[in-house]
């Protein structure tokens, strides 16, 4: 694999294809690419019955496993673990529970023993008692300097080049592109503009409690820990309605956590597009679908065809996977 | 007062001044107008030290009392009362509490006896068990057809023409304009694009619980009643951070419910602008500030000068008040 520094990868992702006529150079010719281009043509042709005015051209995408990788664990969880270890090295007294001690020792089984509740305990260590600005700076630094455990690239370089191209293509056709993620909204916002060209106000995600205070003399918004909104499964349409206020016409995801979002999006009137990324490429990326603890895709695989959703076969449809590598 | 039908008023508000060079024709010449124009010039001049790139030009405005009127009660409360009466006429059994019966009888004292809790009970009658789309259609119809009890104009025509001009002026200068209201997000979205040129995804407000279901065969988001987020006072900076994800450079409000939003906005680095509407015009609008049950402005009046916030004297600074009337 030929790796590039993240900054170069970003520059390449955004600028290399601008001069050529194919808006999706990392997509192989075939049914999938044709379906995407035909959909975009159909909604942007002012003479077509299927024309959609610019203000209704809203496209939403899941993040983990759809725009960047999610194996062997969500990047946000790996970040939380790194910060936990860093903090515990400086002050071991923060390890106040079995779950936190297991996480610090790299004991995955012990770490998962309390399920979601335990994971939230770990996440709270890095995600609370910090201003939103400082949190984003910390996440940004980690994402752009830490190598992924198996791929070796910085996490921020592990976006999917074909999806970065798709986002840019849609924006060139006057779509608004949103991220709608089960991950934390502030974590994604730390990198979304740099990695995807998506500004913070077009990121929807799970949210923690936060509060405003000016008592210190400096008006500050602090992350207080705990979860105020879970933007996953049936929560995704609700999060979209809260942040965007209207139904998108295109939705992309990769797991059954995205099913409701695709279902709601494609149930609207007029032309609609549902896209599911199928992780089929064990060599260049990771191969998984119906089983595992992350990105499980069962119902989506079963129902994509009858619902008219386009299934992306990563191995077959993408000539290049990574923004941060040439393959 | 010369009244216009709402549709004409909207057309007039958006198009009449397009051809003239003054972007704020309903603002009288003077310190206030000069301060606004000088700020906008300072952040849009690429050669100035005070230049702000387009992506950071974010302006936020309270709605009730800032962009449209809020007397004798918030329009949303008057809507909720009208719907309650309509529903009770068809089915009196919905009047299950003293508060609901008082509201139905127009007994304001009895209606307020349980404070906010009672008000929410009334609001829940019209704001729950309904899809977001149907709710918005109902609110839109009410806002565009119901006459205000004292002014006689449709509610939707009771936006402030100078503020509609300010919103358009800012957008012409590549600002993004947001509403950040203590009122309900769906209620405002029902009319925001038509009344202010602000799309639903640029409206932040208080939010109710909602849920997604496809069980009926039609994927639907239903308003479930209850409040999930109160976008008022210290909640406003939190709501901005949730929906926009970065600090604005301009904030406008009219009451102490907007204080935290102005405080946070103007505490940022670089050029900042805080704007407070002072309701001084008993003849054309309503005169109120330090006392009353709506739009109380105490701390803002006391501290505006020392904080460098611009206080708009409605009577003196505005040559015309209403979008829906010529004065």
For residue B37, give both structure tokens.
């124009």
Helix (H) or strand (E) run with residue B179 in it: strand B176-184
Strand partners, B61: B179, B252
- Among candidate residues B105, B125, B145, the one where a domain is terminated: B145
Indicate the residue among B130, B145, B160 that finishes a domain: B145
More confident residue, A301 or B3: A301
Asked if residue B122 and residue B257 are part of one domain, the reply reads no
Q: Which pLDDT value is given to residue B4? A: 57
Q: Are residues B261 and B176 in the same domain?
A: yes
Distance CA A74, CA A64 (A): 7
The set of long-range contacts for B19-24, using a CB threshold of 8 Å and a minimum separation of 24, is: B23/B165, B23/B168, B23/B169, B23/B172, B24/B162, B24/B165, B24/B166, B24/B169
From residue A179, how far is each of A37, A68, A129, B253, B275 by CA, in Å? 21, 12, 26, 30, 33
Q: Under 8 Å CB-to-CB from A35, ≥6 apart: which residues?
A: A273, A310
Say whether both B141 and B161 belong to one domain. no
How many degrees, rounded to 5, is the angle at CA A207 between CA A206 and CA A209? Answer: 155
The shortest C-alpha distance from B26 to chain A (Å) reads: 29
Enumerate the residues of chain A whose CB falls inside 8 A of the CB of residue B246: 200-201
CA distance B154 to B3: 10
Name A222's bridge partners.
Answer: A131, A211
Rounded to 5 degrees, what angle do the CA atoms B163, B166, B167 make? 90
- The answer to whether residue B326 sits within a structural domain is no
Residue B50 falls inside a structural domain: yes
CB contact under 8 A, A234 and B213: yes
Total count of domains within chain A:
2
3-state secondary structure of A118: helix
Query: A205 with A89, same domain?
Result: no
Nearest to A214 among B218, B246, B263 (CB): B263
Q: Helix count (H) and strand count (E) of chain A?
A: 14, 9
In terms of domains, do A32 and A164 share one? yes
For residue A1, tell me if it sits in a domain: no
> Does B155 have pLDDT greater than 90?
yes
Q: State whether B253 and B115 are in the same domain.
A: no
Å from A104 to nearest chain B CA?
31
Same-domain check for residues A252 and A136: no
Phi and psi of B302, rounded to 5°? -65, -35
Is residue A323 a part of any domain in this protein? no
Domain with residue A49: its CATH number is 3.40.50.1000
Which residues of chain B neighbour A243 with C-beta distances below 8 Å?
Answer: 201, 243
Inter-chain touch B264–A132, beta carbons under 8 Å? no
Q: What is the pLDDT of residues B75-128, one digit of tens each?
A: 999 999 999 999 999 999 999 999 999 999 989 888 888 877 888 889 988 888
pLDDT at B36: 98
Q: d(Cα B230, Cα A245) in Å, to the nearest integer?
A: 17
ipTM metric: 0.92
What pLDDT score was predicted for residue A173? Answer: 98
Ordered mean pLDDT values, 10 residues apiece, chain A (327 residues) = 56 50 96 98 98 98 98 94 95 94 91 82 90 95 97 97 98 98 97 98 97 95 94 97 97 98 97 98 97 92 98 98 92
A246 to B201: CB separation less than 8 angstroms, yes or no = yes
Residues B130 and B186 grouped into a single domain? no
Is residue A326 domain-resident?
Answer: no
Same domain, A55 and A16: yes
B 57-116 residues with CB below 8 A of A?
Answer: none
pLDDT at residue B11 is higher than 80? no
Domain boundary (B120, B145, B170) is at: B145
Q: Cβ separation of A234 and B218 shorter than 8 Å?
A: no
pLDDT for the residue numbered B327: 79
d(CA A216, CA A189): 26
CA of residue A163 relative to chain centroid, distance: 11
CA B277 to chain centre: 12
What are the distances in angstroms from CA B197 to CA A289, A318, B177, B277?
A: 44, 41, 9, 20
The gap from C-alpha A39 to its chain's centroid, in whole angstroms, comes to 23
Top-confidence range, B19-23, B104-108, B178-182: B178-182
Residue of higher predicted confidence among B19 and A248:
A248
Angstrom distance (rounded) from CA A159 to CA A163 = 8
Express as a percent the part of chain A with pLDDT over 70.
94
Residue B280 has pLDDT above 70, yes or no: yes
Please give the share of chain B, as a percent, with pLDDT higher than 90: 84
pLDDT exceeds cutoff 80 at B154:
yes
Task: Say if A140 is an interface residue toward chain B (CB within 8 Å).
Answer: no
Which chain A residues are closer than 8 Å to B132 by Cβ? 241
pLDDT of residue A109: 87
Q: What is the pTM of this model?
A: 0.93
Q: Is the Cβ pair B241, A219 closer than 8 Å?
A: no
> B267 — contact with chain A (CB < 8 Å)?
yes
Structural domain boundaries enclosing B122:
75-145
Residues B64-73, mean pLDDT to the nearest whole number = 96
Would residue B7 count as lying in a domain? no
| Mean per-residue pLDDT over chain B, rounded | 93
Does residue A205 contact residue A185 with C-beta atoms inside 8 Å? yes
Same domain, A67 and A108: no
Q: Give domain status of residue B11, yes or no.
A: no
Best of A184, A212, A233 to disrupt the B interface (most B CBs within 10 Å) is A212
What is the spatial distance between Cα B148 and Cα B81, in angstroms, rounded to a whole number?
13
Q: Is A213 on the interface with B (CB under 8 A)?
A: yes
**Based on the domain organization, do B183 and B140 belong to the same domain?**
no
Domain check: are B67 and B81 in the same one?
A: no
What are the residues whose beta carbons fall under 8 Å from the beta carbon of A318, sequence distance 6 or more? A26, A27, A28, A160, A161, A162, A281, A312
Closest CA to A64 of A174, A166, A206, A176: A206
């Amino acid at each position: 694999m030929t790796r590039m520094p993240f900054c170069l990868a970003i520059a390449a992702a955004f600028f290399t294809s601008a001069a050529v006529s194919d808006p999706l150079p990392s997509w192989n010719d075939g049914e999938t690419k044709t379906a995407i281009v035909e959909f975009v043509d159909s909604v942007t042709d002012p003479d077509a019955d299927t024309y959609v005015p610019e203000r209704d051209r809203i496209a939403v995408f899941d993040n983990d496993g759809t725009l960047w990788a999610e194996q062997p664990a969500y990047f946000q969880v790996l970040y939380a673990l790194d910060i936990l270890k860093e903090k515990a090295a400086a002050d071991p007294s923060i390890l106040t529970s079995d779950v936190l001690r297991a996480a610090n020792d790299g004991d995955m089984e012990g770490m998962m023993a309390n399920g979601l509740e335990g994971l939230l305990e770990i996440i709270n260590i890095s995600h609370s008692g910090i201003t939103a600005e400082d949190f984003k700076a910390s996440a940004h630094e980690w994402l752009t300097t830490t190598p992924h455990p198996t791929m070796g690239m910085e996490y921020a370089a592990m976006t999917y080049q074909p999806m970065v191209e798709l986002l840019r293509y849609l924006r060139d056709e006057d779509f608004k592109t949103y991220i709608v993620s089960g991950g934390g909204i502030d974590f994604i916002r730390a990198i979304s503009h740099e990695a995807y060209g998506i500004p913070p106000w077009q990121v929807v995600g799970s949210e923690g409690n936060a509060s405003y205070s000016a008592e210190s003399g400096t008006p500050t918004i602090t992350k207080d820990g705990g979860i105020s909104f879970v933007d996953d499964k049936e929560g995704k349409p609700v999060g979209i309605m809260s942040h965007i206020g209207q139904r998108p016409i295109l939705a992309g995801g990769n797991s059954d956590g995205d099913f409701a979002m695709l279902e709601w999006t494609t149930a609207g009137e007029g032309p609609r597009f549902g896209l599911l990324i199928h992780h089929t490429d064990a060599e260049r990326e990771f191969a998984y679908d119906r089983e595992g603890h992350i990105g499980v895709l069962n119902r989506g695989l079963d129902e994509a065809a009858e619902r008219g959703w386009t299934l992306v076969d990563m191995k077959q449809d993408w000539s290049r996977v990574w923004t941060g590598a040439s393959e």
